[in-house]
Amino acid sequence: MQRSLSFVLVPLLVAGSASAQTVPPATASVAPAATISAAPDFGSRALELPALLRGEIAYDAFFSAGFRQAIPQDKFVALTAQIGGAAGKAVSLEDMTMTGPRTGQVRLRFERAIVTMAMTVDPDSPHLVTRLSITGLSAAEKSVDEVLSAISRLPGNTGFALARLDGDQLRFVHLQGADRAMAIGSEFKLVILAELVRALTAGERHWDDMITLDGRALPPGGYMAKPAGTRISLRELATQMISISDNSATDILIATLGRAKIEKMLSVVGIADPTGMRPFLTTLDAFKLKSLAAAGKIDWAKMAEAARRKALDGDLGKADVAIVSAAPAGVRAPRFIDTIEWFASPADMVRVMDWLRRHTESGPAADARAILAKNPGIGPAAAGGWNYVGFKGGSEPGVIALAFLLQAKDGSWWAASGSWNDATHEIDGLRFASLIGRAIELAKPHG
């Protein structure tokens, strides 16, 4: 499930680039835009960036008062430390792409990655930086095989799958631990979207169907505090569930579509072992179970499926949300990720993305593609080589999983999925995301 940090890499890596991507229509050729040159003061600040990120330039001497107010120095230091953990030390300026004389994208080489930042410089002396936001982080590996080698050296369990999707045929191109079922966090929400797509295609549901909240308890999210009687469209719920992984929207959709119907979709969409997601938990179910397990009040792993269903329909389902406990402050250790979760392999999730591709080509369910593309999950450098990027990820301490549906500029379709689990230690999700993003960047067809 998504943690409160909201899947740390997503807001960090794709700020300002989360608009839906669509395949551009064929049009008459357009003359290329004139190249914009950087003002000398912008170039000077760009050259200083590596030293700033290494802590060799004073924060107050680099950023404007407005920037310092919006992002205090301690928060900036914490952010750069997070980037450093994944990418190593900042080394040098690679290049710049300008959208104006004093605003543009700068690419910095770090020890283990290339980091892209959007920067704006004040035109007035002393030309302080008024905007600096990270828009992409890509590992420095030079081939998909190098990426897979780096993934294989991570502690715990990892897996990766990349496939070309030709009509009804799926051909795996790269596989590494791809059939290993692992905890996938919020990736499970793709199965809910698949059931909605099925229902839309069958005419059982419509995007504009309105759902009326009945006052039942919901997990944290945009609808948790909404009063009974609030009406929300299926389109809005699906959009929030996929684009920002809203847990309250997710649980409303599970209640609306039905647990049993969602479970029937597991084998339909390509989950090789559906028992890893049966019974199909709501996010609130998972929160309650982890809290009860932490208190020694339930042993979910030893319960048969029938006993689990009885618990969900009985005492557990009726238990007050107050039983949900957070991990102790400052503790980020994995909690029951090998027993209380949703489990699927990277190959499973590639098949899920392929099913969604094939069932959203036309008709009422076609809008699901735009929903999948609202948050591409990778930075512009990796996404820029593709016409379309659909994405859903999931994370919590010890878990990260990323799944992508991709259309290349030559019109071919692809899907990729990667997962990393470590049941004993927190993982470096940013490093893993940079590796998967790099694999996607390298895998794009040429020509």
Angle between helices 73-87 and 429-443 (to 10 degrees): 60
CB 391 within 8 A of CB 378: yes
pLDDT at position 14 over 50:
no
> Coil, helix or strand for 95?
strand
Q: What is the pLDDT of residues 350-381, one digit of tens each?
A: 999 999 999 999 999 999 999 999 999 887 77
Q: What is the pLDDT of residues 376-419, one digit of tens each?
A: 988 777 888 899 999 999 999 999 999 999 999 999 999 999 99
pLDDT at position 26 over 50:
no
pLDDT at position 320 over 90:
no
From edge to edge, which strands make up the β-sheet containing 129-139?
90-100, 103-110, 113-121, 129-139
CA distances from 337 to 122, 271, 291, 303 (A): 47, 19, 13, 16
What would the DSSP string read from start to end of 275-343?
Answer: GGG-S---HHHHHHHHHHHHTTS--GGGS-HHHHHHHHHTHHHHS-GGG--PPPTT-----STTTSS-E
Helix then strand then coil, % of the chain, to nearest 5: 40, 20, 40
Q: What is the pLDDT of residues 174-233, one digit of tens each?
A: 999 999 999 999 999 999 999 999 999 999 999 999 999 999 899 999 999 999 999 999
Angle between helices 189-202 and 247-257 (to 10 degrees): 40
Assign 327 a pLDDT band (cuts: 50, 70, 90): low
d(CA 120, CA 130) in angstroms, rounded, equals: 6
Tell me the H-state helices in 121-233. Answer: 144-152, 189-202
How many angstroms separate the first and last alpha carbons of the chain?
39
| Secondary structure element (H or E) that encloses residue 135, with its range | strand 129-139
pLDDT at position 285 over 90:
yes
- What are φ and ψ of residue 166, in 5° steps? -115, 105
Dihedral sign, Cα of residue 372, residue 378, residue 382, residue 384: positive
Mean pLDDT of 27-34: 44
What's the length of the chain? 447
Mean pLDDT of 81-88: 84
Strand locations in 24-128 (E): 90-100, 103-110, 113-121
> Coil, helix or strand for 13?
helix
CA distances from 426 to 53, 258, 335, 357, 422 (A): 25, 34, 10, 33, 7
